[in-house]
Chains A and B, each alone.
Chain A
């Protein structure tokens, strides 16, 4: 494949798409499939037959359209009308009224001016819900593989790294390490072989951004990885994806096969001297494997147990060779930065954390689903404007970010601007991007206990603070929730949490106490309410009132 051939293919696909009077996109991501979008194609075909209307329509199964709680979603192009909760009877109406008589079916329309859509800015999710994930031509028609062609024909690896560095892109896996810097370290490392790994082991419960990206736009990840391979000097890539995401695995397999067939992966890509291959590695349900050194072990076929860093994987990684590990969303940002320049990217978001972030909104919130917003947006805007607040007017209590490593943010801190630093100051973290809203029905001690149970279960058992400490934190929380604890137990809990945080080997243990810390910080009264009554004891809430 040459650059000209790529352009030709893109033109051809665009012309093909324009031939259709209507293109009917139906969401075929896991969320909508489970509300029945899988059968929509047949229902539409049947409705076409009934109304003897055909030939001018194309039915396209796409990735996630975002508003998962209202699925199955259907979008009609070229006018862009979006329909919610589409079932057989609505399909009939859409075909009869919209397609034949050009009358929009009002009762199921979603207004695109709604803040859920209007407040978003899509870079990573641009193709998600717009193209057929199983068609490489559709990806190419929306500028796909153009960035790879550009770097291979016009730029040196150092220039690519410089461009990514200037963009200010930070790792979207949670820690926020500057991506360009990481690439530079792997580039400089001297070794016969190097590797690029995409970390798609999205283990945080309540997070489904990576799954949606992989299911909706798998080629974007392959392209990002190939660019990273070129920049870092690696010729082999691995995608480590969870076994719990069978659809994402299928789509990635198809995407790799199609890219290899067109010569966009393999030897002498775009007739350069660059070779790059991507293989899949399927995880097996261990949360700790999201930690990079544990992930490396797992790819090597061993138990996923972390090891101390340094040496970092960028120096000594897979089989002891320099390895570049980035998250799915980080790779998804690469192609747009290359095509639209680092200046464009660095102007989005905040100066310290440029770009956008994809969040998965779930829990007690009206509009559940996937959103992409510029960094620096306030939590209040996300929860109340985009998310529509809590359902049925129940009272908002907290929003949980960062999964089992993060914390609960109460209403008084909702005006902070979302970026890596700000979330840390209120005792939570960016994490991978799960956001779970809790209302007054959630008991915070139970929530902390829930997360601690998770950490006890997922601790790999290598280091004692995490293996034993989390267990004891859990039993203390259990004691509190059973109303048999005293104030000393809370002090003990705090000490224990601090110890586990300071002395654990890897990120799992170090951040495992975070849910306890943050609930103690903001909802201490809920803990104290559950204590066994002690004589002469004054709860701290009373003391602060008297001051």
Chain B
């Protein structure tokens, strides 16, 4: 990761940093609140880019390497922007037994990207979740925050095609 640590911190013009500062103040700029701060940052910015991590390192007085370590360790943190729409497919055991792997295959084929990636036109991101905890409705997917249960391959493709606009 090549980042110029000096020029990117100041001056902060983006108003979103004010929101982040509020969260930092709430945790009194303490290092042990790092995960909370990263949650807040991802909530505000959508993903954690390099500049943002540098800013947080500077504020919490923690080495950037450690912040990068934490951000990459946890699956929940994203270091790349996601597409306009997100298709979060649950790949938990119940969903697997009920055929989530089939859905995964057809979606990957249709969108021409693997799970964990975003389509070239930045329209759709395919994300695999470990378990969203709605196993009674397996297979489950979360489409743009909306939980959809008892999914099948045709429904999944239809939804994605609506997003792509075909």
Contacts and interface: CB of A to CB of B under 8 A. Distances in A.
B19 interface: no
A360 B135 contact: yes
A403 interface: yes
A442 B35 CA distance: 38
Contacts of A403: 93
A283 B35 CA distance: 8
Interface string A244-280: 1100000000000000000000000000000000000
Nearest to A437: B97
B102 to A, nearest CB: 11
Given A403-B93, A436-B97, A208 B147 contact: no
Contacts of B38: 284
A33 B132 CA distance: 13
Contact of B97 (A203, A244, A287, A438): A438
Interface string A289-324: 000000000111111100000000000000000000
A22 B165 CA distance: 47
Contacts of A382: none
A199 B32 CA distance: 18
A341 interface: no
A202 interface: yes
B15 interface: no
A62 interface: no
Interface centre among B39, B135, B147 (most CB of A within 10 A): B135
Contacts of A434: 93-94, 135
A361 B95 CA distance: 12
A133 to B, nearest CB: 16
Interface in B108-158: 129-138, 140, 146-149
Given A243-B39, A434-B93, A284 B98 contact: no
B130 A285 contact: yes
Interface stretch (A222-230, A362-370, A467-475): A362-370
B93 A33 contact: no
Given A301-B32, A304-B73, A244 B132 contact: yes
A245 B70 contact: no
Contacts of A18: none
A206 B94 contact: yes
B51 interface: no
A450 B94 CA distance: 12
Contact of B35 (A69, A282, A370, A460): A282
Contact of A31 (B66, B77, B93, B134): B134
Contacts of B74: 283-286, 304
Contacts of A302: 34, 66, 70
Nearest to B131: A205
A506 to B, nearest CB: 15
B73 A436 contact: no
B32 to A, nearest CB: 4
Nearest to A284: B74
A205 B73 contact: no
B152 to A, nearest CB: 15
B148 A206 contact: no
Contacts of A451: 93
Interface string A358-381: 001111100011100000000000
Contact of A287 (B39, B70, B130): B130
Interface residues on A, range: 35 or more
Given A30-B147, A204-B131, A362-B136, A301 B92 contact: no
A320 B160 CA distance: 49
B75 interface: yes
B149 A34 contact: yes
A68 B133 CA distance: 11
A202 B32 CA distance: 22
Given A284-B76, A304-B74, A206 B135 contact: yes
A202 B133 contact: yes
A300 B27 CA distance: 13
B40 to A, nearest CB: 10
A436 B33 contact: no
A244 B149 contact: no
Interface string B71-99: 00111110000000000000111111110
Contact of B131 (A31, A69, A244, A369): A244
Contacts of A442: 97
Given A34-B147, A285-B75, A286-B73, A205 B31 contact: no
A454 B75 CA distance: 13
Interface in A374-424: 400, 403
Given A301-B31, A362-B94, A362-B136, 13 more contacts: A31-B149, A68-B136, A69-B137, A202-B133, A204-B131, A206-B92, A244-B130, A244-B133, A284-B76, A301-B35, A303-B73, A364-B97, A403-B93
Top 7 closest pairs, chain A to chain B, by CB: A68-B136, A205-B92, A284-B74, A34-B147, A362-B94, A362-B135, A285-B76
Interface of B: 31-36, 38-39, 66, 69-70, 73-77, 91-98, 129-138, 140, 146-149
